[in-house]
Structure 1
C-alpha cells in the first residue's frame, strides 16, 4: 500500500474514532496502536510504553502540572472575584468600564492561571451576572467573557505555548515573550470594541427611555469613593506581585521554566492560605483534585498525541504530507494561508493541544523551509486556535459560558462571540504585516536568533 493511501486511511480512521465519541486521548491511542499492529513490525507493540515515555521525557512538560496547580490555587479561591471587583471600582467611569474591567480581569487572571476554561469560569461567574444586572445584553456579556478567556492560551504561562515549544523544538522563554505583545494587542482591541458596543447599547437604552419606556439599569451611574477603590486593592496586589515575580524569575534568567512553575505553584498556595485562610485539608482538596484531573487528562492527550505523531513519522505519513505541501509550489504567503485555514478547520473539532501535537510534524518543516520564524508562527497559530475556542460548532469557551450562565440562549452566546472572532482574524493579518509585534520583545531581551 502506498504512503498516500496509508495516510488517507490513517486520517479517516482518526475521524471515525473522534466521531465515535471516544475521549480524544483514547481515540488517538487506539488509532496509533491499530496502525502499529497492522503496518509496523510486531515487536513495535512491545515498545509502546517505552515510546510514549521517551516522547514525554521532556523537562519542559514538567511545567504543565505545576502551572495547572498554580492556576487551580488561584481559580478555586476568590481571587478572580476580587480582581474583577477591584478593576471595576477603578474603571467604572470609563464608557463600558464594567465590560472593559472584565476584559482586563480575564487578561490578568489568564496570565496567572494559564487556562482558558478556568479564566472563563472564574471571571465569568462574577462578571456575567454583574453585567446582566447593570443592563448589558446577554450576548455582549457572554462575548466579552468568552473572548477574554481565550487569552489564557496566549499570555504566559500558557500550556499551549509549552506544547508548541516541545513540538517545534523552540525556546519556551522566547515563545512566552513573543505572546506578550500580541496578547496586549488583543486586550486593547477587545477593550475598544467593548467601549464602542457599550455606547451603542447605552444609546438604544436612552432612546427607549426618552420615548416613554422603562429606564434600563444601563443608564444608572455608579459611584466609588477613593476609600472604596483603595480598599479593593489589598487582596489583589499579592497575586499581581506573584505574577510579576514569576515573570522576573523566568525572563531574568534566575530560574528555569520548570523551577519557575514550581515556585509559582508554591507561592500561590501560600498566598491563598494567607489572604483567604485556605490552608485546611478541606480547602486544599478541591485544588489538588482539580489539578490531578486536569493534569492527568492533559498528559494523557499529550502522550497519545506524541505516539500518534511517532506512528505518522514511522509510516512516512507526515514526511509525505510535508513533501506534498512543498510540491504544490505555493508562494510563501499562500503556504501560510493554506496551513492556517487547515488549523481553523481542525479548530471546529479539536482542542489546541491536539491540533499542535498532531499537525506539527506536517506543517512545521515546510514553514521552516519557506523561511518563517517558528516562534512568530507559534504566536499566529495560537491566535488562530483562540478563534477555535469561541466559534461553533464546538468552541470550548461557548460551552463554559453556557454552564455558568444557562439563562443566556446559545444563539445569543454565539452571536456575542462573532465580533471577537473578527478581531482575532484582524490581529492575525496585522501580525503577518508587522511581525515585530511578536518578535521585538524576545529579540530585544534574548537577542536575535542567527
Structure 2
C-alpha cells in the first residue's frame, strides 16, 4: 500500500474507535498496533511494552501529576475563594468593572495551576455567582470566563508546556519563561475587549456596589497574599535555578498544603478528594501519553513522518504559510481531540517539518500552546465548554457562540507572535 492509503486507513481506524467511545489512550494504542502489525516488520507487542514503560517512567513527566495535585488542592480550599475578595476593589474603576475579575483571576490562578479546565472551573465557581448576583450580562460573563480560562495553558507552569517539552526535547524551564510575555499580552487583549464591549453597552453594566478609599483597597488585598506567595515560591524557584520544574511542582504541593492548613481549610476530606482527583486526572493523561508515544513510534517505523515532511516541504510553503496551515490543522483537530492528545499525537510528524523550516522550537512551543487554547473553546470537544456547560446548564453551542470573540483574539495573538517573535523568545534568550 502507498503512503496515502496507509494514512487513510489509520485515520479511519482512529476516528472509528473514537466514535465508538473507546478511551483516547486505548484508541491511540490500538491504531499504533494496527499500523505496526500490518505495515512494519517490528513485533507490535514488544514495541508497545517498551514504549509504554518508557513514556510512563519519564522523570521529567513527574512534574505533571504534582502540578495537577496542586491545582486540586487550591480548587477545594479557601485559597481560591480569597482571590475574588482581593481583586474586586481594584477593578471597580475600569470599564466593565467586575468583569475583569474573570481575566485577572484566571491569570493569577493559571500561574499556580497549569490546567485550563481547573482554572476555568475554579475561577468560575468564584465569579459566576457573584457577577450574576450583581446583574452582569451572562453573554460577556460566561464568554470572558471561557476565553480567560485558556490562560491556564499559556501562563507557566503549564501542563501542555511540560508535555510539549518532553515530546520536542526542549527545556521546560525555557518554555515556562517564554510563556510569560505572551500570557500577559493575551490577558491584556481579553481585558481590552471587555473594556470596549462595556463602553459600547454601558446600560448593561451595573453600578459599583460601593466606593472604597485607597487604604480600604489595600486592606482588602490581603486576601491575595497566600496565592501571591505560592506563585513566588513556585516560579521563583524555577527562574532562579534553585529548582527544576519537577522540584518546583513538589514545592507547590507542599506550599499549597501548608497555606491551606494555616487558613484552616485543610482537613482529611479535602486532602483525600484532592489526591483522588489528581490521581484520576493524571491516570487519564498518562494513558493518553503512553498511547500517543506508541503511535508516534509506529508511525516512525512505517515512515509516515518522513514522507509527510517531504510532502509538505515539496509544497514549497513559506514559513508563514506553514504556520497558518498548522494553525488551521490544529483548530480542526481540536474539534475531536483534547489538547494533550493533539500535542503528543502530532509532534513526531510535525517537528521534522518545523525544523526544516528553521522555526525556533521554543517559539513553536508557544504557538502550539495558543492554538491548543483555541481548540479548548471549539465544539464538540472543547474542554472549557464542557466545564462551563456543567456549571451553568447552558447549551454548548450557546457557550461556543458567546466565546467566539475571544477565539478571534487568539487568532490575532498568533499573528502578533509571528510578526513579533521576540514576544516569545526574548526572555528565554536571557537565561
Band the TM-score falls in, shorter-chain normalisation? over 0.9
CA distance in 1, matches of 2:182, 2:138: 28
Matches within 5 A, 1:190-201: 190-201=190-201
Residue ranges of structure 1 left out of the alignment (5+ in a row): 206-216
Q: Does 1:302 align with 2:328?
A: no
- Farther off after superposition, 332-341 or 163-172: 332-341
Provide the alpha-carbon RMSD of the alignment. Answer: 1.8
Post-superposition shift, 1:39? 3.0
Question: Given the superposition, is the C-alpha separation of residues 340 and 409 from structure 1 closer, same or farther in structure 2, using an over 3 Å criterion?
Answer: closer
Q: Does 1:443 align with 2:413?
A: no
Post-superposition shift, 1:231? 4.5
Check conservation: 2:178, 2:425, Cα contact below 8 A.
yes
Aligned to 1:69: 69
Matches within 5 A, 1:374-393: 374-393=361-380
Aligned to 2:257: 269
Aligned to 1:34: 34
SS in structure 1 opposite 2:150? Answer: helix
Check conservation: 1:32, 1:308, Cα contact below 8 A.
yes
Matches within 5 A, 1:28-177: 28-41=28-41, 43-177=43-177
TM normalised by structure 1 equals 0.92
- Farther off after superposition, 328-337 or 414-423: 328-337
CA deviation profile, 1:363-408 (whole Å, cap 9, x unmatched):
11111111111110111121111111112232211121111112x4
Residue ranges of structure 2 left out of the alignment (5+ in a row): none
The structure with the largest alpha-carbon Rg is 1
Post-superposition shift, 1:442? 0.7
- Farther off after superposition, 362-371 or 230-239: 230-239
Check conservation: 1:138, 1:412, Cα contact below 8 A.
no
Matches within 5 A, 1:253-264: 253-264=241-252
Post-superposition shift, 1:227? 6.3
Check conservation: 1:103, 1:191, Cα contact below 8 A.
yes
Check conservation: 1:36, 1:45, Cα contact below 8 A.
no
CA distance in 1, matches of 2:210, 2:186: 27
Q: Does 1:405 align with 2:364?
A: no
Q: Does 1:242 align with 2:230?
A: yes
Tell me which stretches of 4 or more aligned residues in structure 1 moved more than 6 Å: none
CA deviation profile, 1:191-245 (whole Å, cap 9, x unmatched):
1111122222223x4xxxxxxxxxxx71454333556534533342122111112
Aligned with residue 293 of structure 1, among 267, 280, 298: 280
CA distance in 1, matches of 2:350, 2:56: 21
Question: Given the superposition, is the C-alpha separation of residues 202 and 327 from structure 1 closer, same or farther in structure 2, using an over 3 Å criterion?
Answer: same
Aligned to 2:412: 426
CA distance in 1, matches of 2:278, 2:219: 31
Residues matched between the structures, number: 431
SS in structure 2 opposite 1:299? Answer: helix
Post-superposition shift, 1:24? 1.0
Aligned to 1:180: 180
SS in structure 2 opposite 1:391? Answer: coil
